[in-house]
Structure 1
Amino acid sequence: MEVTRYEQVLADHGGLARDMAAASAHARSAVPVSTPHEKAIRDVAAGVAAPVLVGYVIWLLRTAHARGLDRLCFLSRDAQVFYEIATRLPPELGGDLSMSYVYSSRRTWSLAASDPYRLEKADWLFNSFMRSNAADVCARLGLDIDRFTGALNIAGASLAPDVRADSPEQNTALRRFVAMPEVAEAMRPRIERMRRLVCDYAVQEGIASKSTGLVDAGWTGRMIGALHSILTGADMAVPHTFFWGHEPRATGWTEPELISAYMYNTVADPGVKWRVPDVPYIVETFCMSDHAIVSGYQRETSGRIEAELESSNAPVSAWGLDVFRSTIYAFCSGLSLTHAEEDVRATVSSVLHDFWITPTVEEAAAWGAYPYDSDPLGRATLPLARGFTEEELAPLLGDGGHFEQGDRAWLQGSLALSGTAGQRAAAVLSSQYAQLGSPATD
């Protein structure tokens, strides 16, 4: 089997990186594929995603053990793949660490941390990859939009689905709506109930403990900050948190004593020297899960708290989740950990950069078709990449005007799907890609 460009980069660095190259080749030989789409999924999973994910988990287990933690709680949904990897690596990496998969979401924890009388300050209601419309805000709050149509009209909010909070007028109107007394009174019991459930779930699952580490992909810290607000408000212990990457915003949350980040941290060690542009989009794609979003919690008659999930995760399964996960697991089974103590972050960043910035057309077609969604409700699903027309690329090709990336999360993948005009545009952007702005995802 021919060596891939990613395996060549890994092998050239020796040690653990070279062992990862061998594990990538093993995974590709172990996972059969029948279409070019599946091949592109498998080969990128083996040579890029697996080093990105497994490298983090190795660091995570070693770091948590060194800190003397007793338990790791892997947060749904992004940390599901980290949990699966951790259970497939030799247990001695983490010593006597107990590990469990627990259910969480911005939709539940952010709601539980909210003040019903200050909802206009709750940015999670309005932000996502696609900003909220009126129906989204009501759904995030659990309000029947039909009951509150009159209040939305009084606030000046449009009910049109395509009028979203990225419009200053709509943003102001939606914030005016959630600040109304009738909204606050409707939300107060719902928020109080969710807060009790989250607290009880945190005790049940061992989350509310200083000897516990929470595991997630990242990014702004807003959801973890919501949990900490809930726990400290109830005089409960707060856990440590491990992120793949951390980049808090003005409306985010961070606490250096309680957060450790693997690949980069924009406000503390290790800094941003290994950060790839728009990296949250990539890692969230690699962290696809096999279940839908957590919509709430329910107390069973036994007293146990169980998560409530949305009904379906079919688009991810249809895209190729089984091929992806099978490849990751085969990589784990073929990986030698003789050099597990070595730091491979620079090499992992290199292969990640090569894939994300210079994808082949085949890679862009397969991975660009991934149904990316950063919305708490699962309502903003879009292909990760989508080709541009020549007219859309004209501002980059000498015709002047303002270039619009639009709702394409993967810019370079979209350019790879745009023919010769896309190739020319990619060349124009190559020197400035890192300065195109931070990701919009929350």
Structure 2
Amino acid sequence: MPGPAEPTRYEQIMRQHSRRAGDAAAMFCDASQAARALVPVSSDHEQVIRDVAAGVAAPALVGAVAWMLREAARRGLARLRFLSRDGQIFYELTRRLASISGVELDIEYVYSSRLTWSLAASDPTCLDEEAWLFNSFMKSNAHDLCARLGLPLDDYTPLLAAAGVSLDPDCRADQPQQAGAMRQFLRTPQIIEVVADRITETRRLLVDYASEHALLDARTGLVDAGWTGRMIDSLLRACRTHTQQRPRALLWGYEPRKAAPDNLDRVAAYMYNTATGNGLQWRVPDAPFLIETFCMGDHGIVTGYSRTAEGMVEPVLRTPGNPAAAAWGLRTYRSTLYAFAQQLTSLPQEDLRPLIHELMAAFWCHPSRSEAAAWGAYPYDSDPAGTATRPLATPLDEREPVRGDRAWISGALALSPPTIRQRYLADASLAEVLGVPAPD
């Protein structure tokens, strides 16, 4: 396909934000146009991936990296540890941009997961009170529950049945009867015993891994996309970290369910922080789904840790690669981000959040049909155990136009006929349309 010529609508937005030649908005616009010219595409699908990567994802991610480097220097941090998998793209961009930042830091990509760290922090005698076993964008069903605990479903079917847990995949923890049965299953002595052994071993390995990579030092910054902060809290609980030793957390966005007072200074967020109220005007609906998509990793979920013959701790990955994301267009996406970063000769000092918000809102809230089709095909999975992969957006069902398992509701609306859109919007709650932070 021919290279880009006319500016995209995102580049037009950047030009409109520019107040003088060479300012951050102009610099980002030039970088976007150059990246599109440098990354060849062979289909309309790849072109849409590339254009959104250059015009929306790159500004959002590079803006965060510039802030993270400044914040690390302001807080006197000695190192940054980028948590897999969402932290991988921040690591790759930081690695490429550190030389022009004027900030010297020890940076490293480390392996983590909600699945492993949450398990390590759990109390086996109170599994029925562990929210991570039930919650996600799609609440757990019986298969999800067992997967999060590392229990083969077939081996535990009799115990599930005895507790009244349905094996129907559509029966989930947001249904009171199913939730109660799941809790009964988790209180079963046999389950407590089996899971206790897994927790003990996982915790032991995590403590050693954290020590090997300086994850718990007060001059360490843990970088992640963000949201509730529970995964980092799980690390601290599992390792029984004292307040004085706690690392800092640098997140893209932070929306804790309950804001712990001792987290207010320890956790810093770039775009918005619901605990402090900072930047809430820059939060787009369902922001976590968008940023997690932009932070797609190139390897599988960390399912645990193992010890090498030399005594070091290494991650255990479900898969060495991320074949679903690769098939969707991960190479085109990442190549565009890297090409964008390579155009920059300095990092912006301005507050880029107004620009980034407008770019993100234009794409996420008002996608074209071609954008909804290409990006809606991304294999999004919000489940800690990777059991709930769904397209980011699919057309609404004509018979029952409800959100269901669609993470990107504006993408779903763009793919649906006007009459179906109208029926959905007439019945949907304001909270669902606005994508407010989800309660437990």
TM-score normalised to the size of structure 1?
0.92
Question: Structure 2 residue aligned with 1:313, among 322, 325, 339?
Answer: 322
Cα distance in 1 for partners of 2:345, 2:398 equals: 48
For 1:436 and 1:352, locate their aligned partners in 2 and report how far apart those are by CA, in whole Å.
Answer: 14
Q: How far is the alpha carbon of 1:290 from its aligned partner?
A: 0.5
**2:100, 2:345 within 8 Å by CA — same for their partners in 1?**
no
Q: 1:261 to 1:357 in 2, by over 3 A?
A: same
Give 2:17's match in structure 1, choosing from 13, 36, 42. Answer: 13
- Select the residue among 400, 404, 407 that pairs with 1:406: 404
**CA pair 86-233 structure 1, distance change in 2 beyond 3 A:** closer
The CA deviation at 1:422 is 5.3
- Residue 112 of structure 2 corresponds to 104
> Which of 60, 67, 75 in structure 1 is aligned with 2:68?
60
How far off its partner does 1:436 sit?
A: 4.0
Q: Distance in 2 between matches of 1:261 and 1:47?
A: 22
Query: What is the CA distance between 1:164 and its match in structure 2?
Result: 1.7
Letter in 2 for 1:178: L
TM-score normalised to structure 2 length:
0.92
- C-alpha distance in 2, partners of 1:427/1:123? 31
- Identify the residue that residue 268 of structure 2 maps to in structure 1: 260
Q: Counterpart of 1:401?
A: none
Deviations 1:121-174 (A, max 9, x none): 101111122221222212211223334333222211112333221211111110
SS in 2 for 1:68: coil
Equivalent residue runs for 1:40-439 within 5 Å: 40-93=48-101, 95-232=103-240, 237-250=245-258, 255-268=263-276, 270-311=278-319, 312-337=321-346, 340-393=348-401, 404-421=402-419, 424=422, 436-438=434-436
- Match of 2:382, SS? coil
Q: In structure 2, how many angstroms separate the alpha carbons of the residues matched to 1:289 and 1:198?
A: 21
Q: Is the 8 A contact 1:75 1:215 kept in 2?
A: yes
Check 1:391–1:430 CA distance in 2 against 1; reply closer, same or farther (3 A cut): closer
8 Å contact from structure 1 (residues 277, 433) kept in 2: no
2:194 and 2:420 map into 1 onto residues whose CA distance is: 50
Are the counterparts in 2 of residues 231 and 237 from structure 1 also a CA contact under 8 Å? no
Task: Deviation per CA, 1:80-138: give whole Å up to 9, x if none.
Answer: 00000001114252522110000000111000000010000101111122221222212
Q: CA-to-partner distance for each residue in 1:280-335, whole Å, 9 max, x for gaps? A: 11000000010010000001110110000012521100000000000000000112
Corresponding residue number in structure 2 for 1:400: none
For the residues of structure 1 that align with 2:17 and 2:268, how far apart are their CA atoms? 26
Relative distance call for 1:251 and 1:124 in structure 2 (3 A) is farther
1:217 partner SS: strand
Q: Is the Cα–Cα contact under 8 Å of residues 41 and 367 in structure 1 kept in the other structure?
A: yes
Instruction: Give the CA deviation at 1:73.
Output: 0.2
Measured after TM superposition, the shift of residue 390 of structure 1 is 3.9
In structure 1, distance between residues paired with 2:345 and 2:101? 13
Match of 2:221, SS state, is: strand
Number of corresponding residues = 431
Structure 2 match to 1:27: 35
Whole-angstrom distance in 2 between the partners of 1:291 and 1:236: 34
The verdict on how the C-alpha distance between 1:251 and 1:383 changes in structure 2, with shifts beyond 3 A counting, is farther
Q: List alignment gaps of at least 5 residues for structure 2.
A: none
Contact 1:70 1:98 survives alignment (8 Å)? yes
CA spacing shift, 1:26–1:437, aligned 2, 3 Å: closer
Q: Identity percentage over the alignment? A: 51
Separation (CA, whole Å) in 2 of partners of 1:417 and 1:166: 28
Q: In structure 1, what is the Cα distance between the partners aligned to 2:155 and 2:292?
A: 35
Q: Distance in 2 between matches of 1:430 and 1:440?
A: 15
Q: Which amino acid aligns with 2:64?
A: Y
Give 1:36 shift.
0.7
In structure 2, C-alpha distance between the alignment counterparts of 1:322 and 1:48, rounded to whole Å: 17
Once residues 94 and 422 of structure 1 are traced to their aligned partners in structure 2, the CA distance between those partners, rounded to angstroms, is 53
Which region of structure 1 is more displaced relative to structure 2, 118-127 or 158-167?
Answer: 158-167
Residue range with higher mean Cα deviation, 63-72 or 176-185 = 176-185
Over 3 Å counting, the alpha-carbon distance change for 1:414 and 1:108 in structure 2 is same
Q: Deviation per CA, 1:216-260, whole angstroms, max 9, x where unpaired?
A: 001011111111112335899321001100111159997112100
Change (3 A) 1:119 1:27: same
Give the Cα–Cα distance (whole angstroms) in 2 for the partners of residues 172 and 262 of structure 1. 38
